[in-house]
Amino acid sequence: MSVNYLLRIVSKLNVARGCLLFALAVCAAALAGCGAARPIKYYQITYPTADAVAPDAVDVTLVVRPFESSHLYLDDKIVYGFEGPEMGTYENQRWAEPPVEIVENALVRGLRASGRFKGVYTPRFGANGRFTLAGHLYEFKELDAKSIMARLNYEVRLRDRKTGTMLWNHIYSHDEPASEKSVSAFVVAMNKNLERSVQEVQSGLEDYFRSHPQN
């Protein structure tokens, strides 16, 4: 067997090995692309800006305390559900803050922006407030039915820290229709639902304090 023949065999083997390595690299790149994590999208609620206190505002200071809720609404993943008991969460579609905090912030900033109360604070800034608002968030989810709905359901309770008694409570429950079947449209619908709920709470609180003057 000649030296030239052996060299030709070695050359062919090197070429074949090179082609095999190239093919393996292409396959690895393709698999890596298929397994790449999808980017996470975050959605935020638009809160109202604070207005000046109205001259005829109720002379009370409200402190909005943390709400109770299921562990689903203590996380930032968007929850979806159906007419039945089944629910789930989107892994890559999330709120900028957990729903339980969204409801608290909506009440603080919405009631404050209304200008109908002397002051509205969180416990950190209103530790001396006599009247506290707290409650339970039951549902804050995308409802997949014939159309997409933003379902919001919570209870809010007013307590007098001076006496320890519950003075007033309100249950809000409403399904706000989305304009289309998309997460962005659902978020817009939930924003409207939150605004509506805060208006109901504001009206109920104002009626209570107007009919029950405080000493």
- Per-residue pLDDT tens digits for 40-71: 999 999 998 877 899 999 999 999 999 999 99
- Per-residue pLDDT tens digits for 83-121: 888 999 999 999 999 999 999 999 999 999 999 999 999
Helices (H), the chain: 3-34, 99-114, 183-211
Q: Which of 78-87, 166-175, 192-201 has the lowest mean pLDDT?
A: 78-87
Average of pLDDT values for 183-210? 97
Average of pLDDT values for 3-28? 47
Average of pLDDT values for 130-142? 96
Q: Residue 33 above 70 pLDDT?
A: no
**132 near 66, Cβ under 8 Å?**
no
Question: How far is the C-alpha of 77 from the C-alpha of 99, rounded, in Å?
Answer: 9
Question: Tokens 């549902």 map to which residue?
Answer: 139
pTM over 0.75: yes
Q: CB-based contacts of 33: which residues, under 8 Å, 6+ apart?
A: none
